Amino acid sequence: MVAVKINILLADPEVNSLFEVINEMKTKNCEFSLVDNGAAAQKEIRDHKTKFDIIFLSPDITKPSGLSVIKFAHQFAPGIPLFIMTSLSSTPDREVDLVDAGVSGMIAKPFGATQMMNALGPLFKSFDEGSVLELSKKFDDKVDEELEGKDQEFVAIQAKYFVSGSKCLFDVYVKLRENKFVKILQGGDPFEPERLLGYLKKGVEHFFIRKEAQEAYVSYCDKVSSAILKVEQIPLDKKFSLLFNQCESTLNTLVELGVNNETIAYSQRFTRNSIELLNHLGKKHDGIGKLLKDLTQFEHSSAVVLLAGMFAKELGVETGKSLETLGLACMLHDIGLYLVQEQEEEVISKSNKRFRSEEEIEERLKDPKCFAEEKKNLSHLLEKHAKWAVDYLSEVEGVNPVVMQIIAHHHAYDEKEKGTWSGGTIHPMAEILALSDRLVKLLKKFQQTGASKEYLKNALQSTMSVFPMRIQEVFLKTFNI
């Protein structure tokens, strides 16, 4: 099994006073880089920008100041959470300056491991190997023996993206026919890749695990994938494959919402082809290459492509040229959001934060500390990012002009709801992109909040009301709602 740790940069002029809590956190799967001045902190961030999961910073740091270190982190390692470690000696004004500079929160000294783990929040997902292996002991089926089991008791995992370490932590099955399975790997045994390769050569497309192990498997994939994605030497195409594992929970949600396996398999192939095409363009064009390295935007865009593929199939968008055009538009629809922040200081938040998604901007706009000028700039960024994407892509050789038209219209239905749309007839493939973009955001909220499926179904139906009837009919057919 791959050992995955939370990597923490801790910057404090009195770092020696924190050794007790640091040593306790080391027993909880955390690794630390410790520095006592601003210059050393900046060097760590610059030299290891993909290494750290979180930064803890004292406002008393000097040479340069804590504020300078935070601005440096936003520039060279955007997206990493930053926490201030406050103390009685810290001045309130300095704390306010740092909060306004875009930190994630504060933790008061002296603090213990519990407070630090609370600050880590969702980063600190424990993976208990022992409890996972206990799941295997609940069932007495033997390797290579056929067994009866209801299909709904098992979860399908795309075979070519199956993840395991040197020891297999999960019972793994192959489906023979309806309600009939055979176990090919036993949880706790050494991993035997040749057995899985043998099944792949026979044309097996999915392996199966018990429904009870699904959450643990997704957690395991998150841990392994997150660690590997940080390694800069790993090629982008390998990282893309790993991100498919992180989508397993989304795919299973789609299955539970009634999307059939044939449609999902088709859409996965469509997504893969779109990513490969984008990777090819990224090697030639710096702006697209930068977008590919922003894994937050990449993951959102590839999820949009996945859903768009489902709807395209039902709407009869099947020619190679049309699918290529739709896939590129979905992958690049938010590139304006990213590139403009690279170039234009006035559209960046006063917090010096670079926003990686529309949701992040919308959350900042709700923040009481987001005042009039910043709201104006961020609203302008939301409003104009599609146009900026079109302006950039019009200069990129090899991009079909229809891609620009689709992107230009992808917020048309948002504007229709507000009564501000004046762009005329909406391109049919822009309708697919607009629908997919909305649904990805809803599915993400559903997965984060754990809301009931009934609530999700109602939310999905509600968001459909603005779309034409033919789009609504395809949605209902695809999701079986």
DSSP state letters, 38-74: HHHHHHHHHHTTTT-SEEEE-TT-TTTTHHHHHHHHH
Strands of the sheet with 30-35, listed across from one edge: 30-35, 6-11, 54-57, 82-86, 105-108
User: Among 225-229, 328-332, 452-456, which range has the highest average pLDDT?
Assistant: 328-332
Q: Is domain 247-479 in CATH 1.10.357, yes or no?
A: no
The better pLDDT of the pair 214, 239 is held by: 214
Alpha-carbon distance of 159 to 48, in angstroms, equals 34
Ranges of each domain in the chain: 6-123, 129-216, 247-479
- Our CA angle for 202, 203, 208, nearest 5°, is 100
pLDDT score, position 445? 75
- Our CA angle for 57, 60, 62, nearest 5°, is 95
Alpha-carbon distance of 29 to 8, in angstroms, equals 11
Same fold yes or no, 6-123 and 247-479:
no
Using alpha carbons, list the distances in angstroms from residue 320 to 57, 166, 178, 305, 396.
52, 40, 34, 15, 21
Angle between helices 248-256 and 428-449 (to 10 degrees): 100
What would the pLDDT profile of 234-293 be if each residue is shown by its tens digit?
Answer: 455 555 554 554 455 566 677 777 788 778 878 878 887 888 888 888 888 888 887 776
What would the pLDDT profile of 101-130 be if each residue is shown by its tens digit?
Answer: 556 677 888 888 877 877 776 554 455 667
Q: Please list the residues that pair with 183 across neighbouring strands.
A: 143, 173
pLDDT at 328 over 90: yes
CATH class for the domain made up of 6-123: alpha beta
pLDDT score, position 224? 55
Whole-model pTM: value is 0.54
Q: Residue 378 is inside which H or E element, if any?
A: helix 372-393
What would the pLDDT profile of 155-178 be if each residue is shown by its tens digit?
Answer: 887 776 676 666 778 888 989 888
Output the six-digit token pair for 12: 């404090």
Alpha-carbon distance of 383 to 393, in angstroms, equals 18
